[in-house]
Amino acid sequence: MTTYPFNVEQLTRLKGKTLLITGAGSGIGRETARAAYKSGANVALADWNEKDTQALLSELKSAQAGVTADRIIFRKTNVANFEDVLEIFQLTWKTFGTIDAVISNAGVSSGEDLFDDEIDPESGKLMAPKLRSIDINLTAHLLRREIITSSAAGILDTPPVYLYCTAKTGLIGLMRGLRTSLIKRNISINVVAPWLTVTAMVPQGRLALWEGLPLNQPATAAHALLLPVLQPEINGKCFFIAGDEIVEFEDKLHETQPLWMGSKQLSDSVDEGQRRMIGVIQESRAIGL
């Protein structure tokens, strides 16, 4: 187990950096915005929840009373809509210049049930399943390259939120697919996967069920999201958050690969195959094939 300690004094390194945070109006996103702004960063807030995000905007602006420079902006944003995403990126760049980090935190946990069939009352035909969870929790993240909020649901069985689990697993796959390519463009990508975190998304009954087990506060997940901004050398990691402890999974997963693959020979062969394939793909792109 690789544990990453977090010293809040590190946050001073954010001063002058520009962060774009989606899902900034509540929970983990709100705490991330607070920490970044109070540490001197320029912050762009993106969220569909206008009321809560405006309240956060007012809170943080009042905290800088007497300061001339305005370091925070907000745009109501549907992260599943490309034009909305483009607009917040352009607004952030026009206002602050270079964007140092995008924290892709927006997500929903709806009362989905994949096994509930819905029939069109007019045609009598089976209707297509509602994929809002996939659209917001997975597809929307394809529009950006950044530090992504996944979930323990991307690692552990999490019925009955089947689509949520699918989307959060997909985010880890997205990070793994991009980490060897983006770094060559001086862009890092990492995933944070919090276990149960005390936010408005978690029903009170679930918290009662959790008695005696590790719980996270939103501020710890926020620190994990900010860690790769503070330490740019971090790339391709999956940080699991449990009991306010930040644990990295990817290094140990590879270290134990011979064990879970069943043999060192197979593990070595897979590593060599990956080295060859990734190398060929990157060479092909370099020459425009």
Q: Give the DSSP letter of residue 129.
A: P
User: Using alpha carbons only, what angle is made at residue 15 by residues 4 and 89, rounded to the nearest 5 degrees?
Assistant: 95
Q: What is the pLDDT of residue 144?
A: 57
How far apart, in Å, are the Cα atoms of 182 and each of 28, 101, 175, 187, 250? 25, 13, 10, 5, 17
> What ranges do the domains of the chain cover?
2-253, 256-289
Three-state DSSP at 47 gives strand
* pLDDT value for 112: 67
Residue range 2-253 in CATH 3.40.50.720: yes
pLDDT for res 289: 42
Tokens describing residue 58: 């007012």
Tens-of-pLDDT digits for all 289 residues of the chain?
Answer: 689 989 899 999 999 999 999 999 999 999 999 999 999 999 999 999 999 999 999 999 887 665 555 899 999 999 989 999 999 999 999 999 999 999 999 888 766 667 778 888 889 899 888 888 888 888 878 755 578 899 999 999 988 888 889 999 999 999 999 999 888 888 999 999 999 998 877 777 778 888 899 999 999 999 999 999 999 999 999 999 999 899 999 999 999 999 999 999 999 999 999 988 887 556 555 545 4
pLDDT at site 282 = 60
| Percent helix, strand and coil across the chain, each to the nearest 5 | 50, 15, 35
Which residues have CB under 8 Å from 182's CB, separation 6+? 145, 188, 189, 235
In angstroms, the CA 50 to CA 52 distance is 6
pLDDT at residue number 286:
52
